[in-house]
Amino acid sequence: MIGECVYGVGPVLAALSANRREFYVLYVQEGIDLTGNNKKKKDKKAFEKVLKLADKIGLTTKEISKHDLNMFADNRPHQGLVLDASPLEMVNIRQLDRVAENEGTGLWLALDEVMDPQNLGAIIRSAYFFGASGVVLCAKNSAPLSGVVSKASAGSLELTELRSCKNMMQFLVSSAENGWRVLGGSVASRAVDINEVVTGAPTILVLGSEGTGLRPLVERSCTQLVKIPGNIPVHLSAGLEDVDPLSFVAVESLNVSVAAGVLLHHLAGSKSAVNAE
């Protein structure tokens, strides 16, 4: 491959539609049957649209074996399509522009060292679904924008506004000075229940890494900490006496991608009906 492997019907279609990459070759599984009962109608239509777009832009298309496609996609679910394309490039950003008086609402997502590509893709999918303005990532210690991320995002990676910052703390502080509310997702005791947070203000939602959450300096850069209330209290005591056995199956926080969906729904999507796939 010349560039990066983008695989799967949704990601390939989104990449070709967004036209943010340079395209080299579209690989199609030879002998693939799109008429079988096991093929979803929307997948069939999307597959056909990919072929039409490739033909329209003059992209070289090659039929190869399923085995070779598996090799390109590292045995991940490619659905018969693999696109050889240049990597996505992110624009560096130091701060968000100053909020103008009477300006409409805005919502950005800032991710502090999210390293798992599956989590990153799922978060970007939620951000796109709920209409977030864009996503800001750390220039270092973040999962690279690979084909794995694009597939996990169901192709929304190709369509989302992406920015990169060298210093997350400075980005948040400078943006706050420009009128942005900075909400940090946290399980800290001082964090406010998300249901108590008023929606509508220009907001940056900050989420931390899978294992440790927000770094201390990033947490201090937030104007407010927010949390998602759970139904099962977590037993954090060191002693074992009089402990409810159910407390051992409880968790103190949600997976970061799940938390992103819940928080984004409250901040941006609660006014619209949600259709989950």
pLDDT tens for residues 20-68?
999 999 999 998 877 665 556 677 889 999 999 999 999 999 999 999 9
Instruction: Please report how the helices 9-18 and 41-56 are oriented relative to each other, as an axis angle in degrees rounded to 10.
Output: 40
- Structure token digits, residue 90: 């992110």
Phi, psi (deg, nearest 5) at residue 35: -100, -5
Q: How far apart are CA 138 and CA 85, in angstroms?
A: 23
Predicted structure pTM score: 0.85
| Angle in degrees, CA 276, 196, 169, rounded to 5 | 85
User: Domains in the chain, start-ordered, CATH in brackets?
Assistant: 4-85 (3.30.1330.30), 91-269 (3.40.1280.10)
Q: Tell me how far the alpha carbon of residue 61 is from its chain's centroid.
A: 29
Please spell the DSSP secondary structure of 166-215, one letter per residue: S-HHHHHHHHHHTT-EEEEE---TTPEEGGGSPP-S-EEEEE-BTTTBS-
- Structure token digits, residue 144: 């690279």
Q: Which helix (H) or strand (E) holds 72?
A: helix 66-72
- Structure token digits, residue 183: 């909400």
Q: Give the lowest-confidence range in 23-32, 116-125, 128-137, 241-250.
A: 241-250
Phi, psi (deg, nearest 5) at residue 182: -115, 110
pLDDT digits (tens, 9 = 90+) for 105-127: 699 999 999 999 999 999 999 99
| Angle in degrees, CA 45, 18, 99, rounded to 5 | 130
Q: How far apart are CA 156 and CA 64, in angstroms?
A: 26
Q: Could you tell me if 149 and 124 are in contact, meaning their C-beta atoms sit under 8 angstroms apart?
A: yes
The confidence score (pLDDT) of residue 250 equals 41
Q: How far is CA 120 from CA 17, 63, 64, 145, 236, in A?
A: 21, 31, 30, 9, 29
Q: Could you tell me if 49 and 16 are in contact, meaning their C-beta atoms sit under 8 angstroms apart?
A: no
Cβ-proximal residues to 25 (8 Å cutoff; 6+ apart), any chain: 2, 59, 60, 61, 62, 83, 84
Q: For residue 96, with 0-12 CB atoms within 10 Å meaning exposed, 13-18 middle and 19 or more buried, which class applies?
A: buried
Q: How far apart are CA 113 and CA 276, in angstroms?
A: 27
The confidence score (pLDDT) of residue 64 equals 95
The confidence score (pLDDT) of residue 236 equals 45
pLDDT digits (tens, 9 = 90+) for 8-25: 999 999 999 999 999 999
Q: Is the pLDDT of residue 198 over 60?
A: yes
What is the rounded average pLDDT of the residues 93-114?
A: 85
Q: Is 147 left (phi over 0), alpha (psi -120 to 50) or beta?
A: alpha
